[in-house]
Chains A and B, each alone.
Chain A
Amino acid sequence: MVSVDLLPLLYQGAVTTLKVTVLSMGVAFLLSFLAGFARLSRRKSIRLVSSVYVEVFRGTSLIVQLFWLFYALPLLGIELTALAAGVAALGLNYGAYGSEVVRSAILAVPKGQTEASIALNMSPMLRMRRVILPQAMVIMLPSFSNLAIELLKGTSLVSLITMADLTYQGMILRTFDASRTFEIFGLILLMYFVMAYPLTLMMRWLERRFSAGRV
């Protein structure tokens, strides 16, 4: 029996997992705000486009979306790399959830705040940027924090479209030596946690920063 060193392969997998996580988070964050603001638009057509996006990506399975982007799109002549398909699926899916967080947080800021800023003759942009968003951010952060951690763990799905992420490496290692299954998956659990926990800490730090003045 060959004894395989587990850590280098798992480490490689973790790097891939982190890469997919960071890129998808960027896409999801951007889409959250874009679609969230679009849902609040005065124009009906913009609201409609955004609701269709949100409902489609929230209402269908992430893994099917992933397969669709990776295996079905090529039939239409659009070939995505595994990374691009993974980032697109995760970003679009979590962006749909995130947009609801953005929308509801903005609506949760008391109306009096908007009225006070109108009374001070602030423009709609200024109102949003300096009065509403800073308060909405505090409301958004706990939900964003949940979504970010879920996204990190959700990246394990990309192992199903040929990407050698942390989960994929674990599966491979297990086929080498099934007797170390306990050790392998134990290590993987630990590594996911080690990546997720800093996210939690960062979000808590942001929450504290954004809630200055409120007890």
Chain B
Amino acid sequence: MNFASKEAPVVRYRKVSKSFGDLTILREIDLDIAPGEKIAVIGPSGSGKTTMARLLMTLEEPSSGTIEVDGEHLWHKNVNGKLVRADEKHLHSIRGKIGMVFQHFNLFPHMSILRNVTEAPIHVLGLDKEEAIDRAITMLRKVGLADKLDHYPTQLSGGQKQRVAIARALVMRPKVMLFDEVTSALDPELVGEVLAVIREIAAEGEMAMLLITHEMDFARDVADRIIFTDGGRIVEQGTPEQIFYKPESPRLQTFLSRFRAG
């Protein structure tokens, strides 16, 4: 369960870079995620944390480098020993192992809460309706919203919306779940209920998680490993203990001191 694990990684970034025009967001990132590992990514805004997740979710294409999921290339296809750019069909075949929860929830506003959660299981996984509903209700119960099945997203608070979004992603049973600053858009009093749900899921264990967050206490409690990014690079990584109590690089020290002061 830690980064020294001997198990084959479920995700492997190799020299992954991303630029938008002249702006370089990620510079040759290397990162292995072990099955079930919980990694928290911290760092100043603009340091490339979110882009790391977006590349893995196939929302953004890397400028160079490769990403492997379960030993298979994500953005490339192996054709006669040569790596060529993946097409939608290939992306579709691998993307199902990844799930994501977004900062702004992105629930489907025209669907009830139940349909938000059953839509993909029915139409993507091909489950029959009853099974999908069963699964959805189990998940919604877990996030404490089984009484809101017929509500629409507009009728929920931000914290409730985010918990639905978590259920919607979980119901697809991904191997790796990405949480992209999932509490940043919430009113302070609603942050706790969302973090509590994530803690509970993390405790169950088997799913790997990449948690991009500004909640330092949460990162320390939940993560097996903490990664500090700055300027598009992984500047330092280690156990929560190392990162928070014995930070080595000056940049991490400055970052943490600002946090403590703020």
Contacts and interface: CB of A to CB of B under 8 A. Distances in A.
Interface stretch (B31-39, B72-80, B116-124, B223-231): B116-124
B119 A121 contact: no
Q: Decide if the interface of chain A is mainly helix, strand, loop or mixed.
A: helix
Interface residues of A, number: 24
Contacts of B153: 213
Contacts of B106: 110, 112-113, 115-116
Contacts of B120: 120-122
B108 A113 contact: yes
B220 interface: no
Contacts of B88: 123-124
Interface string B78-104: 000000000010001001101110101
Given A126-B123, A212-B152, A214-B152, A116 B108 contact: yes
B109 A120 contact: no
B2 interface: no
Contact of A119 (B99, B107, B110, B112): B99
A118 interface: yes
Most A C-beta atoms less than 10 A away, residue of B57, B58, B109, B112: B109
B196 interface: no
Interface string B127-161: 00000000000000000000000001110000000
B172 A214 contact: no
Given A126-B124, A215-B154, A115 B108 contact: no
B86 to A, nearest CB: 14
B111 interface: yes
A115 B123 contact: no
A20 B165 CA distance: 48
B165 to A, nearest CB: 8
A134 interface: yes
A63 interface: no
A44 interface: no
A119 B100 contact: yes
B59 interface: yes
A135 interface: yes
Contacts of A123: 88, 92, 124
B12 interface: no
A177 B216 CA distance: 88
Interface residues of B, number: 30
Given A116-B102, A130-B119, A213-B154, A121 B108 contact: no
B18 interface: no
Most A C-beta atoms less than 10 A away, residue of B57, B88, B123, B165: B123
Contacts of B111: 213
A121 to B, nearest CB: 5
B107 A135 contact: no
A122 B106 CA distance: 15
Contacts of A84: none
A119 B124 CA distance: 11
Contacts of B95: 118, 121
A120 B119 contact: yes
A119 B29 CA distance: 22
Contacts of A124: 88
A112 B92 contact: no
A23 interface: no
A126 B109 CA distance: 16
Interface of B: 57-59, 88, 92, 95-96, 98-100, 102, 104, 106-112, 119-120, 123-124, 152-154, 165, 168-169, 172
**Which 3 residue pairs across A and B have the least CB separation, nearest first?**
A213-B152, A116-B106, A120-B120
22 contacts: A112-B104, A115-B59, A115-B102, A116-B108, A118-B59, A119-B57, A119-B169, A120-B119, A120-B169, A120-B172, A121-B92, A121-B95, A121-B96, A121-B120, A122-B124, A123-B92, A124-B88, A135-B109, A138-B110, A212-B152, A213-B154, A214-B154
Given A115-B106, A121-B95, A126-B124, 11 more contacts: A116-B106, A118-B95, A119-B57, A119-B100, A122-B123, A122-B124, A130-B119, A135-B110, A210-B110, A213-B112, A213-B154
